[in-house]
Amino acid sequence: MSVSENIKQFLSNEIPSTVKLIAVSKTKPIQLIEEAYQSGYRIYGENKVQELVEKYEALPKDIEWHMIGHMQSNKVKYIAPFVSLIHGIDSFKLLKVVNKEGAKNNRKINCLLQFHIAKEETKFGLDLNEALEFIKSPDFSDLKNINICGVMGMATYTENENTIRSEFKELVHIFNELKKIIKLDTFKEISMGMSGDYKIAVEEGATMVRIGSMLFGKRNYNK
């Protein structure tokens, strides 16, 4: 089946219409995204700055681009003019850089705070106390060129559904705790769930799922 067929099937059969699908096109050729675009899908995610910029430049400008990967501060400037949502804010330092680049581009950049919910050390993210600390600090209210739209997290890569479910529950708990302090209407997104675990994520309250291989096919990293 084609990518556009896969997207259509996914939207109609796998998630409720209230959940937003981020079609993760990382490592996949521009032509494949173009095809999916032609059939009407506009929301794509990438995890590397350089690849995101290349695809942004090559493809129609009404695509909503999501940066879902870990990001270095010195690369924010390349995506600041156009990125629709940055999912991986894992430090206050990074958030300040995003704010600065937002100001330079005369826009407010939408961001999600990434939390470390998995058992794996290799995954990035804040913990709740860290986040509370900086959200309560006076520096935080000075950041006029960002919107904190919610939270993001990745569950452990495992077959154990109980582990995955409890990690997603943890992210929802974090979201609810932060919501008590960040009383903004824009703070409403919970980005969780990938090809292997989106069903559980949706059951637990995801508002966005990030799906790659299930739509675009397996990735080949052995270059």
**Closest by CA position to 89, among listed 112, 68, 122:** 112
Nearest to ligand PLP by Cβ — which residue? 212
Q: Which is nearer to ligand PLP, 143 or 209 (CB)?
A: 209
How far is Cα 175 from Cα 152, in angstroms, rounded to an integer? 9
How far is Cα 204 from Cα 102, in angstroms, rounded to an integer? 32
SS3 of residue 56 by DSSP: helix
Least separation in angstroms between CB 105 and ligand PLP:
24
Task: Tabulate helix, strand, coil % of the chain (nearest 5).
Answer: 45, 20, 40
201 binds ligand PLP (CB under 6 A): no
Least separation in angstroms between CB 45 and ligand PLP:
7
Q: Say how many residues touch ligand PLP, by CB under 6 A.
A: 14
123 binds ligand PLP (CB under 6 A): no
The encoded tokens of residue 207 equal 């508002």
Q: Is 106 left (phi over 0), alpha (psi -120 to 50) or beta?
A: left
Applying CB under 6 A, which of residues 3, 21, 68, 192 lies at the interface with ligand PLP? 68
What is Dmax (Cα atoms) for the chain? 52
Least separation in angstroms between CB 180 and ligand PLP:
26
Q: What long-range pairs does 71-76 form, CB within 8 A, spacing at least 24?
A: 73/97, 75/49, 76/101
Q: Which is nearer to ligand PLP, 63 or 118 (CB)?
A: 118
Applying CB under 6 A, which of residues 7, 15, 41, 47 lies at the interface with ligand PLP? 47
Least separation in angstroms between CB 139 and ligand PLP:
27
Applying CB under 6 A, which of residues 3, 19, 24, 83 lies at the interface with ligand PLP? 24
* Binders in 135-194 for ligand PLP, by CB under 6 A: 154, 194
Q: Which is nearer to ligand PLP, 81 or 196 (CB)?
A: 196
Least separation in angstroms between CB 123 and ligand PLP:
9
Q: Which is nearer to ligand PLP, 102 or 193 (CB)?
A: 193
How far is Cα 113 from Cα 27, in angstroms, rounded to an integer? 24
Least separation in angstroms between CB 28 and ligand PLP:
10
Which secondary structure element, helix H or strand E, spans residue 146, and what is its range?
Answer: strand 146-153
Provide the 10 A C-beta neighbour count for residue 180.
Answer: 8
Binding residues for ligand PLP (CB under 6 A): 24, 26, 47, 68-69, 154, 194-196, 210-214
